[in-house]
Structure 1
């Protein structure tokens, strides 16, 4: 019997929160959030790109007698699983929009598979479209790959890539492969198509089955626990009162951060405060008092230079960096391209930013002034500085070599403000820029814009038109605010962050305990 689509477990139910699925079953009336809908819209576009690339007939050179057929299904149709079984009976070369079902440990599950590709042995390989970067170029490792337009027609070749693991993608492929095994139609392989829609990377679906078994056997939670993802969950307004009523420790220490305390029998915020366990107890007391940030030390310091530039970068998924913003203390400078990333437009934009930054640096040196460029949490900026050099150096004028980028990153003139904050401050909700900057007196022009929303805005901005112009202005404001917020945090640290209490164990004579 086909699994009921409203109650069947989906791959997304198996990732992260173990209370989301019970909430989804209990409250089907609660609509997905706008961020969820936008994420689905991006995936819909990705699937459309891949469908347009998949073959519809043999190509020249494949031979006229080669049998080929393609069936396209509507995976959102009510009876999509039954339509999939009927379509498989016709033995198509390519079947898109397939929905497969199964049952394990008393749990019905349902998975959408973007394509099923028939092999020469009459079995099928599941093909999954993802908005993740599923593989990265690699100098020594290889992975079997087949061009998307040759699926069903060609054979894989070894390509210089290394696969990247994403749990949600793995569970989807594993489910599809399991359903095909039970129909005696399974090949041992599957394929992943990520942000590079032109390439399908072959994976061994057998290796994915143990993790799926463990996840399906884990069962579901009977009560919520706060995770990082809760802030973007449609059921948070239902879960939060339950957590507050229970005074659950995850309100202060989300996810696995509370594990060691739970093992000691500490389940509530109050118990953590009473345990007097140093910083965790101080954080719990601060949370209870509504204090978001504490000083680890009496005296707080910040970095300083004669010439200071604050930098922030915006990237579209894992495809490329389209905006490099810089604030020089007076003016914001946005280096941006609204063209597709990955080619000349991105390279030329990066070269302009790099040239401007290096000119400001050289001017400072000529004037015998110290220079520093700052960012808040350098991981993203460092990644795209390096990635831009790797992809574009030598191909486009003005792009620095990887060696030049590495030299700059390693220098004292590239400063991660987050590292200064982390050494000196601690927060009840983390110490990200959006948490710390308001304590320093800075507030964003658009309070509802974050990293997720910026991805959606970028997609609209590229499309152009009136909405595109509004999205472009929003992205530039958002980036400018990030650079100015970083600058404000620096100055605030130099001023000693005096409005922030000093961390102390609850009940002690320290400032936080008064």
Structure 2
């Protein structure tokens, strides 16, 4: 056997790096022959589109890197990729694009790197290309110029800090183990031998990770974390493939929303009334360990006594109330008789639309003068501030400046006329990110506020996150998303397909991103969708402060 051959895995299964961050039950179903006939979700068009976008991003980055590398560049073609990669390694090629690494030791790994970079002492370190952001403004990240993708050229970056992306680090560790088993890694002890690089969405630098540094809970290194996860996922897969007792049972987690196996798991969980239908993650695990495996068993507990063991997350009484609400088919119950929501003379509901991490293309605002407008006031109603140039684009500066100028003017007029002002959004994390990001990115351009101005607004109590209000004063048995909670207040969207994932597809058509002419109808559809979102937040807070809220059962009465 030569070093370029794949040995048959001793375990009988193979895993790629993505398996290390997936649900353990998904790993089981992926490898269980008996699952072949089980129901699966239809292919997700949004996911397929993201994959296509990521592929195009890799092609663009590869062309930039190849142009900078010149004669030291080798591209692995679509066929015979392991053999071509091995030949390039044997020849000592400085950079190998599209590399596929063999599973020489039969550990059951499969994978490849967008780029392998040779160190001066010999051996290769991996660089991967991803279509998400890998750094945030700050300091401390170690980066090299895109045109110099080697850890030997990397320096601490005074303008960036690492954005946590566990999937990237585990993929680099996966490749590190494969390269070492193949004999293609730098010798142990060589400087940067256990480093890996990531080129993110902005594709302006290479971010370098030391895989032996303790970035994980308890000070564990990425390689240590990887080895534990790989051993665990391999055991789950082997048990499934061989018909041994399953090592992973169904349990509802965040990943379920996009998992192809969700119809299978959902049916099993509903049939069993599994406790994870009410509480997810570590709380569900802790309850099962305490012998509370069903919603009915949880609902039967006395919320006034000590919980059955240490439960992470929400208070035990709330957990019991959620179970009782779920059994009664209630989506929302109150924690308190009266729900405190800041109200004002002048109110603005705000919602931002972004295209992934590309940019914020639309700021929508719904103005309401609670006690009637004064002469000179802006008229009540909805306004959209948009750019239809594909993001990222400098035209975002114009639309954002127009939004901020209008918004600040409304706020200033309220103050000048002795009236109170409040602005509302649903889950401020997104809006705050793009408010600050736009101020930083377009600093100095006409109408752009300073970062300090934006931060002062974000810190002001007048900026109200209704998602936080709902989380504090309500228990939601089926989730706290706006699309889940607003119907309880009597609101419905005009578009039956309204949703964040669908809006991505509409946006592509609206700006002609795929080469087709831009569709005006999709632009109008996006504006209507945004108008409905701000109308939903307005309806929600009016409902929470109206007598109608008394129709919502109190958790203490369940």
TM-score of the pair, normalised by structure 1: 0.87
- Cα pair distance change 1:453/1:212, threshold 3 Å: farther
The aligned counterpart of 1:126 is: 126
Matches of 2:430 and 2:465, distance apart in 1: 11
- Cα pair distance change 1:159/1:481, threshold 3 Å: same
Question: Given the alignment of the two structures, is residue 163 of structure 1 paired with residue 162 of structure 2, yes or no?
Answer: yes
The aligned counterpart of 1:2 is: 6
Matches of 2:206 and 2:169, distance apart in 1: 15
Report the count of equivalent residues.
Answer: 492
Matches of 1:488 and 1:183, distance apart in 2: 61
Matches of 2:30 and 2:46, distance apart in 1: 17
Q: How does 1:430-509 map to 2 (within 5 A)?
A: 430-463=479-512, 465-466=516-517, 468-496=519-547, 497-504=549-556
The aligned counterpart of 1:63 is: none
Secondary structure, in 3 states, of the residue corresponding to 2:24?
coil
The Cα of 1:86 is off from its aligned counterpart by: 4.2
The 8 Å contact of residues 421 and 431 in structure 1, kept in 2 or not, is answered as yes
The aligned counterpart of 2:217 is: none
- Cα pair distance change 1:341/1:38, threshold 3 Å: closer
Q: How does 1:112-511 map to 2 (within 5 A)?
A: 112-139=112-139, 141-147=140-146, 149-151=147-149, 155-160=153-158, 161-187=160-186, 188=193, 189-207=195-213, 208-219=222-233, 220=236, 221-277=247-303, 278-329=317-368, 330-341=380-391, 344-393=394-443, 395-463=444-512, 465-466=516-517, 468-496=519-547, 497-504=549-556, 510=557
Q: 2:53 aligns with which of 19, 30, 42?
A: 42
The 8 Å contact of residues 349 and 425 in structure 2, kept in 1 or not, is answered as yes
Secondary structure, in 3 states, of the residue corresponding to 1:243?
helix
Matches of 1:285 and 1:107, distance apart in 2: 47
Residue range with higher mean Cα deviation, 119-128 or 469-478: 469-478
Secondary structure, in 3 states, of the residue corresponding to 2:300?
helix
The 8 Å contact of residues 55 and 150 in structure 1, kept in 2 or not, is answered as no
- Cα pair distance change 1:205/1:73, threshold 3 Å: farther
- Cα pair distance change 1:218/1:162, threshold 3 Å: same
The 8 Å contact of residues 101 and 182 in structure 2, kept in 1 or not, is answered as no
Unaligned runs of 5+ in 2: 187-192, 214-221, 237-246, 304-316, 369-379
- Cα pair distance change 1:368/1:346, threshold 3 Å: same
The 8 Å contact of residues 144 and 150 in structure 2, kept in 1 or not, is answered as no
Secondary structure, in 3 states, of the residue corresponding to 1:117?
strand
Deviations 1:396-429 (A, max 9, x none): 0111112222222222332222233223211012
Root-mean-square deviation (Å)? 2.8
TM-score of the pair, normalised by structure 2: 0.81
Secondary structure, in 3 states, of the residue corresponding to 1:478?
helix
The 8 Å contact of residues 55 and 151 in structure 1, kept in 2 or not, is answered as no
The 8 Å contact of residues 174 and 209 in structure 1, kept in 2 or not, is answered as yes
- Cα pair distance change 1:435/1:3, threshold 3 Å: farther
The 8 Å contact of residues 296 and 426 in structure 1, kept in 2 or not, is answered as yes
